[in-house]
């Protein structure tokens, strides 16, 4: 069952991540060729368990042909990632590791893709129930690629893994290490994408440990320090507001905490488009209603 869940997660990441990976500094000719192959990949990824081995191999051969024909294109690094995913879906984990291992050798400067490749290799070991090897690779990502998207998510991923295994001691240790990791980056990377994402993951850690006030303070910092639309998207703002509401209403039993945060935001950013939503939320809090507070979740 656990292996099936891991595989489903890998497939899901492939569906939503493949196009962005293949877009990296690619040229027009390669993009056109990949567009047709990518459609086949997405079809296969919808239900890989129903796909015969020869279909996987045929698709893999098409990507290999692109690699041979356009080896100098900067888009090819992303092709290796997709090829590795194909072999994972096929169940050929050794071949997946061989393909993904080429990325760090051939494209050492592509740190995001290198971290992603190592993470996928780690997941192949998880599929083989070899957590010791997977953990070794996850630690490598944390140490060598801490500011990449994959590097930022890995400490929390490891803590969540131990939690699913009902390993209380390892879970607590992993969360403590994750919190230290994120707090260090927050100190070092003031007002940056790295700090913003570190704050998001830190809030997740606090929520997972029922450290409600620390979670609230972290979510408040995200709102107050990152009002720009490239950070505070509509979806993220809605989720943060719902999470704050859930904590103050269901856990802290004090909606004034949320109201004070929203009022501070509105005073500091009087022209912000989020204020219209915040006014509605404040009105509902005044009426002692429970505005979308059923679930505590930070992404």
User: pLDDT of the chain along its 299 residues, tens only?
Assistant: 455 545 454 444 444 444 444 444 446 778 888 888 999 999 999 999 999 999 999 999 999 999 999 988 888 889 999 999 999 999 999 999 999 999 999 999 999 999 999 999 999 999 999 999 999 999 999 999 999 999 999 999 999 999 999 999 999 999 999 999 999 999 999 899 999 999 999 999 999 999 999 999 999 999 999 999 999 999 999 999 999 999 999 999 999 999 999 999 999 999 999 999 999 999 998 876 555 544 555 55
pTM value is 0.85
**DSSP single-letter state for residue 74:** T
Which ranges of the chain would DSSP assign to H, the alpha helix?
Answer: 2-22, 28-46, 53-69, 76-90, 93-106, 111-127, 131-144, 149-164, 168-188, 193-208, 212-225, 234-246, 256-268, 275-286
The answer to whether residues 30 and 73 touch, using CB atoms and an 8 Å cutoff, is yes
Instruction: For residue 292, give the 3-state DSSP assignment.
Output: coil
Q: Answer whether CATH 1.25.40 is correct for domain 1-130.
A: yes
Do 120 and 146 contact (CB within 8 A), yes or no? no
Q: What are phi and psi of 172, to 5 degrees?
A: -65, -40
Structure tokens at 270: 């009087």
Quick check: 147 and 185 in contact, CB under 8 A? yes
User: How far is Cα 249 from Cα 150, in angstroms, rounded to an integer?
Assistant: 33
CA distance 200 to 102: 32
What the block records as the tokens of 39 is: 């459609």
192-193-199-201 Cα dihedral, nearest 10 degrees: -160
End-to-end CA distance of the chain: 25
């Amino acid at each position: 069952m656990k292996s099936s869940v891991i595989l489903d997660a890998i497939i899901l990441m492939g569906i939503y991540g493949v196009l962005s990976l293949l877009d990296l500094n690619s040229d027009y000719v390669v993009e056109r060729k990949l567009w047709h192959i990518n459609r086949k990949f997405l079809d296969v990824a919808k239900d890989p368990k129903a796909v015969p081995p020869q279909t996987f191999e045929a698709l893999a051969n098409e990507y290999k042909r692109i690699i041979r024909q356009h080896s100098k294109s900067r888009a090819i690094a992303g092709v290796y990632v997709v090829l590795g995913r194909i072999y994972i879906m096929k169940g050929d984990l050794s071949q997946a590791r061989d393909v993904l291992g080429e990325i760090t050798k051939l494209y050492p400067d592509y740190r995001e893709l290198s971290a992603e490749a190592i993470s996928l290799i780690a997941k192949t070991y998880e599929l083989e129930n070899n957590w010791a090897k997977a953990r070794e690779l996850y630690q490598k990502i944390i140490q060598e690629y801490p500011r990449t998207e994959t590097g930022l998510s890995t400490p929390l991923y490891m803590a969540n893994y131990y939690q699913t295994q009902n390993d209380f001691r390892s879970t607590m240790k992993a969360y403590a290490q994750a919190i230290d990791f994120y707090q260090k980056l927050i100190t070092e990377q003031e007002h940056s994408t790295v700090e913003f994402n570190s704050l998001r993951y830190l809030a997740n850690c606090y929520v997972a440990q029922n450290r409600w006030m620390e979670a609230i303070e972290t979510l408040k910092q995200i709102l107050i320090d990152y009002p720009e639309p490239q950070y505070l998207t509509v979806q993220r703002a809605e989720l943060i507001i719902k999470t704050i509401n859930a904590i103050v209403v269901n856990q802290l039993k004090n909606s004034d905490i949320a109201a004070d945060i929203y009022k501070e935001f509105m005073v500091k950013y009087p022209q912000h488009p989020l204020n219209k939503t915040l006014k509605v939320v404040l009105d509902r809090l005044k009426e002692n209603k429970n505005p979308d507070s059923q679930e505590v979740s930070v992404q």
